[in-house]
């Protein structure tokens, strides 16, 4: 069971935007792509998803770019995954077979747990901070 690289890219780029949250300048794609090592051509689509989902806002034209639509503490990991990868741990709604019902309900519990966990992480936690920074920046 793989996590898509699309979600990883989204997390990285959002973390980057979180770093500059509050700044008046907008970040543009090339810079974001460079800093977070994401293919620019692919990033276009990801940013589009995030924008349609209301996590970020954009402005076109010269001086255009992207910024978070809300403060980092108000953006959860759950929202990011849902937008970019669809529902968490989605499974076929069919409950065929003698054990279909039971298996489904158990996976539903697992999914609920995962949802709670991902809701507990917000973008502000993605900023590397304190001692760690000293070594890498």
Binding of DNA by 59 (CB under 7 A)? yes
Residue 99 in tokens: 């054990």
Chain centre distance of CA 6: 9
Residue located via tokens 């973390």: 15
Binding of a second copy by 91 (CB under 8 A)? yes
Binding of DNA by 40 (CB under 7 A)? yes
Return the CA Rg of the chain: 18
Binding of a second copy by 36 (CB under 8 A)? yes
Binding of DNA by 111 (CB under 7 A)? no
Nearest to 126 by CA among 71, 54, 72: 72
CB of 12 to DNA, least distance (A): 12
Q: What 3-state DSSP class applies to 15?
A: helix
CB of 132 to DNA, least distance (A): 26
Residues in CB range of 30: below 8 A, 6 or more apart: 40
Among 45, 98, 130, 134, binds a second copy (CB under 8 A): 98
Looking at the Cβ atoms of 74 and 110, the one nearer to a second copy is: 110
Phi-psi region of 89 (alpha: psi -120 to 50; beta: other; left: phi over 0): left
> Which residues contact a second copy (rule: CB under 8 A)?
1-5, 7-8, 11-12, 15-16, 19, 35-38, 77, 81, 85-92, 96-104, 106-107, 110, 113-114, 117-118, 121, 125-128, 136
């Amino acid at each position: 069971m793989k996590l898509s690289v699309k979600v990883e890219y989204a997390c990285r780029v959002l973390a980057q935007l979180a770093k500059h949250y509050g700044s008046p300048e907008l970040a543009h794609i090339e810079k974001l792509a460079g800093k977070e090592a994401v293919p620019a051509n692919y990033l276009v689509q990801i940013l589009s998803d995030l924008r349609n989902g209301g996590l970020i806002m954009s402005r076109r034209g010269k001086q255009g770019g992207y910024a978070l639509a809300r403060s980092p503490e108000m953006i959860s990991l759950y929202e990011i995954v849902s937008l970019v990868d669809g529902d968490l741990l989605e499974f076929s709604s069919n409950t065929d077979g003698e054990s279909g019902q039971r298996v489904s309900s158990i996976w539903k519990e697992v999914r609920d747990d995962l949802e709670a966990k991902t809701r507990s992480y917000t973008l502000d936690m993605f900023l590397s901070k304190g001692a760690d920074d000293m070594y890498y920046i």
